Every structure is written in C-alpha cells, then in structure tokens.
Structure 1
Amino acid sequence: MLAYIAAVLLFYTALFAVSFRKLRRERGLKPIRYGDVLQSAFAPPLTIIVPAYNEETGIVSSVRSLLGINYREFELVVVNDGSRDSTLETMIAAFDMREVRHKINWTRLGRPTMPIRAVYYSLRHPNLFLIDKENGGKADALNAGIQLSRYPYFVSLDGDTVLDPDAFLKVMKPIVEAKPGEDIIASGGSVGIANGSDIASGYLREDGVRLSRNPFVVMQVIEYFRAFLMGRIGMSRLNLLLIVSGAFGVFRKDWVIEAGGYETNTVGEDMELIVRLHRLVKERKSKARIVYVPDPVCWTEAPETANVLYRQRTRWHRGLYECLRAHRAMLFNPRYGGIGFVAMPYYVFVELLGPLIELLGYVLVAWGLWLGDVNVRYAALLAACMALYGSLLSMGAVLLEEWGFRKYKRPADLNRLFVFAMTESFWYRPLMTVWRFWGLVQALGRKKHGWGDMTRSASVLNRPGSGNDFPG
C-alpha cells in the first residue's frame, strides 16, 4: 500500500513539475496573435459536427451562433439523431433547407450507422447541412457526420458547449504551426465550467467568468484545473495523452476513418477513439501526435446536485473500464512504447483501480482500529500528510490557472477556490472515491446502463442539449 501511494505521489509531482515548467516558459512570450492563424494560408477548412436529440427549443440559436464563428472556411453539419420532437422541422423552416438528391457514400468508416432518412442543405447558408437519421446515440450521429463531411479536419462539438470567441483558432493553432514532418492528428483544449458566469448568444464574455457559490461546482472547477493544467499538459508533452474532451476536439478525418470512427457500444467513445488512434500510430510506426492546448477553448455546465454528479461520475468510470478492457492488449506491450508502459498502467492502476485501493485502505484502517492493531498516532500522522499533500496539489492547480491564464479575476473567487482546495480531502475526494468505485462495480456487472439525464439549469446555459441527453 505504501509503495503504491509513493508511486502515485511521485507521478503527480512529476506532472505538476512538467506543467509548471511549460507555463513558466510560455508566460514571458508575446501574447498569442490568433488573427495570424485566421489569415494563415495553412489553416485547413473545418467540418463542425453537432449531434442533436430533441433540441427544438434551442437548435436555431445554437446553429446561428456557430455560423458566426471566427474561422476562415468551415461547414456545419447538424445530425438529427431520431429526435421525437420537431427539431427536424424547426431546422428546415428556420434555414430554408432542401433535400439533397445526389447519392452519398455512407460506407467510408467500415461500420454501418443507423439508417439515414434524408440529407438537407440550406439555401441561405451554403455551408450548412442537416442529416436526418434514426436514433443511434451520440457516437453513431458523429459517425454519420464524418461520412458527410467534405473537409480534412472535423470538430466534434457537444450541443451545450459555450465557445470561447477564438476557440477554433486556439485548437487549430498547433496544426497550423506544425513543423515540416510533424503530423498532428488530434487537438483538444481546456474545458472550463460555465456555472455562475455571464453568457450571451452562445459565448462567454471575456470579463464574464464568475465562480458559482455551489460547493459541488467549486470543487469541480478545482478538479478540472488539476486534470487539464497538470495531467494533460504533462501527458501531451510526452505524446501520451489518452483523452481529448468530447465537449470540443478537432481530428484529422483520414486517420479517424482508417481507425473506424467512433465506437457505438461504449459510453466513453471520446477516450476510446483517442486510444485507438494511438494504437494505429504505433502499429503504423508513425510519429503522428495528439496534442493538448492549455488555453481554455470552451465552457460547459457542471452538475449542481449530488444526484446528477453521481450519475456523471459512475458513467465516466464505466466508460473508462470499457475503453481499457477493449484495449487491454496494449498494457505493458513493448510495441506501444510509452502508451503501453506509462499511460495505460496509469489509467488502469490509478484511475480505474484507485477507488478500490483507496476504499480498501479505509476498511483496513477501520478494521485495525477495531482490533486495536493500529498505532493511532502514526496513522493520524500519515492521514494528515496525505490530506496536506492533496490540498497542496489542488491549491497548486489553482495557482497554475491564476499564474497562466487569470480567468477568475475577482479576489473573492480566488479566495473561495483556495479555501475549498484545502477542504477537498475531507469530503469531496471520499465521495468521489465511493461513486467511482460503484461505477466500477456497475461495469464489472456487465449490466447495460444508459447515459442518464443531465439536468440543465436555464440560468447557466442558453444553448440547450448535451451529449449526455442522448438515450442509450
């Protein structure tokens, strides 16, 4: 147990050091001029794919905001995934859409999608298309959008994502500025939490970032800082990144098609695709990379109640299990290099099995106390050290955000973040441990669980819908 804890602490400390070094090196550089990316002749055209399920009330405003994004050349593909409301009719009427008559190749991915009913194009906006298909879930809708797309890169976008004004420029910057011979096949950026912030017309105002007063939301903000600014910066530097957020990510289409598109029989389709792309890279002996952009590119709503947060975390853990189980042959396999010996073991033994080991520790301590076999002073000292380390790690993540990006400018927000970071080990982490453990139990039980409903607050986002709203 001590050896396991020591290894985890060393790994987290190393990731923090890598992130600190990278942000310190970039802090003194000139401000990034995203207009250069916009004007660059090397900026490839994009296809933006938006799955939609029962979004009649907000689909029009969502599409209008996306049609006005700050990017040179793009097309927008909305996929109506068997909505039971009038999403289809609303789109057709609002954008004066007509059915496409010519034949389309729907077999490029090598895996069938649910039947396509029709494809429409807009007479008002030549770059707007609509696919109407039978319900198959978010991954199936994305696969349909990929096969209709015309451009070499596509963006998968959740319907509830609130965009940064330069979101597409930020996420495409590593691809545009890649060195000769450097092949970047996927790029993702930081995802912020929008609860409590000022949002208008689908965009978050530059000075509108506010911290919610909900304790669950505040802890998720800190959690996101730690996951994105520490974990993903370090993993990306070593080309070991196994997750590009499903809320907003850009992919090179030819690689995704060769990999077979999104897996439809998992709730963790975003991570599973990234792992499959890494697998393909290693098997082709390519030097292609999957990168992470530290700048916040989009914002999403976080759960505000314990019940909704519980469903989200058990679902995430089931998706993690399904992905790792499907690609278990990569674990400690020399063929896959650092992915097999660093990334996969980390996700198996720390992320997947960590809750089980942590709960086992709680049980052993309680059992030992009951039998009188525990040195109470020594145990209390170890517990205090672990709580202090966890709190310092969370506070360090907040410090990295403030030092590198300063999205939360109000002193009151920063003070609240630091205070809550110090309390994490005493209530939030044990709660997450229990919920993640239960997600593992559900996954091992092989019982099919749906996505569940992500209850949205109308006061947070004015763009309805979510990948979480898809049934199945």
Structure 2
Amino acid sequence: MENIIKTYENFLIYYSISYILIYLFLAILSWIAIRTYFQSKYFLLKEVLIKSNHTVGVSIVAPAFNEAVTIVYNVKSLLSQEYPKFEVVIINDGSTDDTLAILIEEFSLVKVDFFYQEKIPTQTLRGHYKSTNPVYSKLLIVDKVNGKSKADGSNAGINSAKYPLFICTDVDCILRKDTISMLVKPFIENTEKVIATGAAIRISNSCEFKDGMLYKSHFPTNFFARFQELEYTRSYLFGRMAWSKINGLLLVSGGLGMFDKETVIQAGGYWHQSLGEDMELITRMRKLMHLKKEKFLIIYIPESLCWTEVPASMRIFIRQRIRWARGLIQTLYLHREVLFNPKYGKTGLLIFPYYLFYELAVPVLETLGLIALLVNIMFFDINYHYLSIGSAFVYLFYISITLISVFLDQLIYKHYTGMKEIIILILMVFIEPIIFHPLNVFASIQGYWHFLRQKERKWGIMIRKGFTTPQNQTL
C-alpha cells in the first residue's frame, strides 16, 4: 500500500511540473496574442464599419424564458448597438409568465407571415412578431413551444435570422454598444475563413448601468461573485487568448459569440441534449472543417464586450459548476473518436488531449492526491518539510498567475476606478486557492459522477437580482 501511494505521489509531482510548464507556455502565448491585437487594432477602424453602407449583416440571437421582469430593458439594450446592418431576434421559448404579452404591448408587436425554413430541427413554432413602430424595425420576436434548453431556442433563432453572421447571447446580458463592430472585424480582416469569434465577458454584479449600457464598473460586493471576477479575468486573459493565438479554441462562451451561420447549420446547430452546448458546438464545427479539409480560424479578442450576472450563492454556484463539469465530460466522451486522430488535425492531436489530461483530469487527480495525503498522515511517515515546500510553490505559482492577470487587466482596461476596490481584489487573490478552488473541484467531481450515473440532466434556474442604475434602482 505504501509503495502504491509513493508511486502515485511521484506521478503527481511530474504531472504538476508538466501542468505548470504548460501554463507558463500559455501565459507567454497570451501575452504575445494581446500585444499583437493592440498593435493591429487600428488596421480596420470600427468607425469605418459603423459608417459603411456595405458592411456584412449580423443577427443577434437571444432566447428568453420567463424574463418578464427585465425583458423590456434587456431588449432595448440589445437594440442600442452602433452598427448599420443588424437585427435582434428574441426567442420566447415557451415562457409561462407574461414575457410575450409585455413584449407585444411595449414594442407594438403584431403577428406576421414569415418565410421560415427549419434548417435545424426545433420544437414547434407558434409564430413571428414584428413591430408596427419604425423605431423597432430591427426587432423580430419568435414564439415557440418550450424546448427545455437554451440550445433549442437558439436554433429557432438561427433558423429565423436573415443575416450570414449571428451573435448568440443571453437575453439578460448587457453588450457594449460596439460589440457587433468589434466581433465582426476578424471576419473581414482575415484571408482564411473565420467561423467564430468571441470576447471577454465580465461580471455585472454590483456594476451600474444606464440606458442599457455600462455606466460605472465596480468590483462585486458579493463574496462568491468576487472569486468569479478573478476567475473570469484569468480565464479570458491567459487561457482563451493563448489558445486563440494557435487557433486552438474549443470554447466560445454561450454568453457572447459571433458565428458563421452557414457553418453552424452544416454542423447541425446547438445540440439540445448537451449541458455544455457552447463547447459541443465548437467541437462539431472544428470536426466539420477538418473533414472538409478547409482552413479556418476561431478568434478571441481581449476586449470586454459583455456583462452578465453570475451566481451569488453557494448553492446556485455549485449547481452551475456541476453542469459545466458534466458538459465537459459529456462533450469529450461524445466526440471521443477525435482524440489522437490525425484526421482531425490540431483538434485531435493537441486540443482534445489537453482537455482530457488537464482540464478534465485535474479535479480527479487533486481529489486522489488529497486522499493519498490523508492516508499517509494517518498510517505512514510523511516529510512535512518537503510537503510544505511543495505546497508553498504551487500556491505561489497559482496566485502569481492571477496577480499578473489582474495587473494586465487593470493596466489595459482600468475597469476599477477606486483604490479600495483594487486592494480588495488583490486580497481575494490570496484566499481564492484556499476557499474557491476546492469548491470548484468538489463541483467538478459531482458533475463527473452525475455523468457516470447517467443522472437526469438539468440546467437549473439562475436566480438574478437585476441591474443597478445610477439612481440605485434595480431593473
């Protein structure tokens, strides 16, 4: 027994070293990607796109289910985009409250004859609505039977969208007014086919909004939201920008992503059975392009273009992370033929192995390592000096990466204006590995276990508090 534990401990040491080296490599790639982006940012000015009459059209697709309290504010926010050719497609996904009635009254909607092609199968549609008010000519409402997932609603919106590019977002997200022009630029600037673009998402908890736009950014006051702010900053600046640099993205967030509609339709749209529909769609899109032997790009830009509310309680947070973990293992299992398959190029030989051996395996190995440590403490001799040195090294590496992320974020974007908020943010960095990380590991293990048991899939309900205006009113 002791030999088995020692062997496993040695494996963990070498595994941890490889993980740290990979993370350092990703950090370098991320820095290069961010620097390259800002050096070429003004190659095509967004002002040119905003004023052009010949730019590509974009549809904003946003499913809504029981959003009666905030639906008017959210729709007006989406309609405030500064872009010459776009539409907003809101899908009322079988709401049981007054969402549709409120939309009809507020935006003077009438049911219209609509040429609808179901290129992606969805639940039955009840009808399409347009406004009789010219001010809301860009608004299209799709009413349908509930599909029990965001995927089904999104697919109905994609079928109804008239433009070749679409943004998939959540109806409660607040988009920066130049979101379309920023996300569409990579589609225009690159000679290779771009099939998707994404950008950083920030946390709206405690932020102030006015007229559908960010008025003042604040570091969240909620304990759990503060940890998630750190996580989002680290993830977007270091993770996704690095993978974008080598065209290795396997995930474009469901909260904000722009897609080539034809590629999405050919890939089959969002899979309504998935608990990680955003990652699963990108996987199928990559597989499609590899099989077609066409060069393609999926690009992330280091701009904060979207604000969304995150879980503010442990119960909702754990439930969300269980779903994310289950979505990860579900996607990797469903597309397991990709792993180490040269037919799928970089996706099979680099990206899938990374997600399997690091993203998915880390929570499992950490849990087994903790068990081995407890067994050692109870039954065998343990070198506490060596243990403390190793633990300190991992801890310091973890917080160093996060501190660098915070520093870069504040240096580039200056989201926080008060020194008090920055100091609190830095203090949270030091306790995150002790409090927040173990919760993530716990939720991940639960998600894997639910998948293995084939437990009934559930998305759960995200309880939101709404957005705060400068007058301290919650919308």
Is TM (by shorter chain) over 0.5?
A: yes
Residue 10 of structure 1 pairs with residue 21 of structure 2:
yes
C-alpha offsets along residues 383-442 of structure 1, whole Å, 9 cap, x if unaligned?
A: 111111111111111122123222223222222222211222222212211121111111
- Partner of residue 93 from structure 1, selected from 105, 109, 114: 105
Alignment of 1:99-110 (within 5 A): 99-106=111-118, 108-109=119-120
Taking a change above 3 Å as real, the CA distance of residues 326 and 59 of structure 1, as seen in their structure-2 partners, is same
The within-5 A match list for 1:284-299 is 284-299=292-307
1:28 to partner: Cα distance:
6.2
Which residue of the partner structure matches residue 117 of structure 1? 126
Is 1:46 aligned to residue 54 of structure 2?
no
- Cα deviations by residue, 1:270-301 (Å, 9 ceiling, x for unpaired): 11111111111111111111110110110111
Q: TM-score, normalised by structure 2?
A: 0.92
Does structure 1 conserve the Cα–Cα contact (< 8 Å) formed by 2:114 and 2:128?
no
Which position in structure 2 is the counterpart of 1:263? 271
Determine whether 1:366 maps to 2:377.
no
Counterpart of 1:83, as a letter, is S
Work out whether 1:184 is the aligned partner of 2:194: yes
Aligned mates of 2:30, 2:408 — CA distance in 1: 8
Residue among 376, 381, 395 paired with 2:389: 381
Q: 1:287 to 1:40 in 2, by over 3 A?
A: farther
Match of 2:81 in 1: 69
Deviations 1:18-67 (A, max 9, x none): 11233345556776843123134663111111111112222222222222
- The whole-number CA distance in structure 2 between the counterparts of 1:147 and 1:332 is 34
2:70 aligns with 58
Q: Which moved more, 1:238-247 or 1:412-421?
A: 412-421
User: 1:43–1:172: 8 Å Cα contact kept in structure 2?
Assistant: no
What is the rounded CA distance, in whole Å, between the counterparts of 2:37 and 2:112 in structure 1? 48
Instruction: Please give the secondary structure, in 1, of the residue aligned with 2:218.
Output: coil
Q: How many residues align?
A: 457
1:86-131 CA distances to partner (integer Å, 9 max, x unpaired)? 222222222222222354222x23xx21111112222223322211
The aligned counterpart of 2:447 is 439
Please give the alpha-carbon distance, in whole angstroms, between the structure 1 residues aligned to 2:385 and 2:76: 62
Could you tell me which residue of structure 1 aligns to residue 3 of structure 2?
A: none
Q: 2: distance between equivalents of 1:258 and 1:230?
A: 31
Specify every segment of 5 or more residues in structure 2 that has no aligned partner in the other structure, as ranges. 1-11
Who is 1:354 aligned against? 362
Provide Cα deviations, 1:325-367, integer angstroms capped at 9, x if missing partner: 1111111111122211221112112111211100111111111
- Label 1:445 to 1:460 Cα distance change in 2 as closer, same or farther (>3 A): farther
Change (3 A) 1:151 1:291: same
Asked if structure 2 preserves the Cα contact closer than 8 Å seen for 1:83 and 1:135, the reply is yes
Matched, 1:319 2:327: yes
**SS of equivalent residue, structure 1 residue 353:** helix
The 5-angstrom pairing of residues 451-470 of structure 1 reads 451-458=459-466, 460=468
* Secondary structure of 1:195 counterpart: coil
Q: Which residue is 1:148 aligned to?
A: 160
User: 1:154, CA displacement in angstroms?
Assistant: 0.8
Task: Return the alpha-carbon distance in structure 2 between the equivalents of residues 394 and 119 of structure 1.
Answer: 46
Which of 165, 170, 176 is the equivalent residue of 1:158? Answer: 170
CA contact (8 A) 1:158 1:246 kept: yes
TM-score (norm 1): 0.92
Equivalent in the alignment of 1:234: 242
Code of the aligned partner of 2:195: I
Report the CA distance between 1:165 and its aligned residue.
2.3
Q: Is the CA contact (8 Å cut-off) linking 1:229 and 1:294 kept in structure 2?
A: yes
Give the residue type in structure 2 aligned to 1:398: V
Partners of 2:464 and 2:71 lie apart in 1 by 15
Q: Is residue 321–residue 444 contact of structure 2 (8 Å, CA) maintained in 1?
A: yes
Given candidates 437, 446, 466, the residue that maps to 1:429 is: 437
Deviation larger for 400-409 or 373-382: 400-409
Following TM superposition, by how much is the alpha carbon of 1:463 offset from its aligned partner in structure 2, in angstroms? 9.1
Q: Residue 195 of structure 2 contacts residue 298 of structure 2 at CA under 8 Å; is this kept in 1?
A: yes
For the pair 1:219 / 2:227, whether they are aligned, the reply is yes
C-alpha distance in structure 2 between counterparts of 1:243 and 1:65, whole Å: 25
Partner in structure 2 of residue 469 of structure 1: none
Alignment of 1:335-350 (within 5 A): 335-350=343-358
Match of 1:468 in 2: none
Match of 2:9 in 1: none
Amino acid across the alignment from 1:325: Y
Q: Measure how far apart 1:219 and its partner are.
A: 1.3
- Alignment correspondent of 2:214: 204
Please provide the CA RMSD for this pair.
Answer: 1.9
Match of 1:412 in 2: 420
Task: Please say if residues 74 and 173 of structure 2, whose CA atoms lie closer than 8 Å, have aligned partners that are also in contact.
Answer: no
Cα deviations by residue, 1:183-229 (Å, 9 ceiling, x for unpaired): 11111100001112111232112xx1110233322211111111100
**Does the 8 Å contact 2:52/2:84 carry over to 1?**
no
Deviation by residue 1:247-280 (Cα, 9 ceiling, x = unmatched) = 1111111101111111000121111111111111
Distance 1:263 1:163 in 2: 25
Q: Structure 1 pair 145/459, CA: closer, same or farther in 2 (3 Å)? A: closer
Per the alignment, do residues 460 and 356 of structure 1 end up closer, same or farther by CA in structure 2, a change over 3 Å counting? farther
Conserved 8 A contact 2:77-2:174: no
Q: Residue 123 of structure 1 aligns to which amino acid in structure 2?
A: T
For the residue of structure 2 that corresponds to 1:385, the secondary structure is helix
Kindly indicate whether the alpha-carbon contact (under 8 Å) linking 2:91 and 2:142 is maintained by their aligned counterparts in 1. Answer: yes
- Give me the identity figure in percent: 35
Aligned residues of 1:61 and 1:463 also touching (Cα < 8 A): no
What whole-Å deviation, never above 9, does each CA across 1:438-464 have from its counterpart, x for those lacking one?
111111111113111211123558898
Looking at structure 2, the residues matched to 39 and 175 of structure 1 have their Cα atoms a distance apart, in angstroms, of: 17
Relative to structure 1, the CA distance from residue 25 to residue 238 in structure 2 (aligned partners, 3 Å threshold; closer, same or farther) is closer
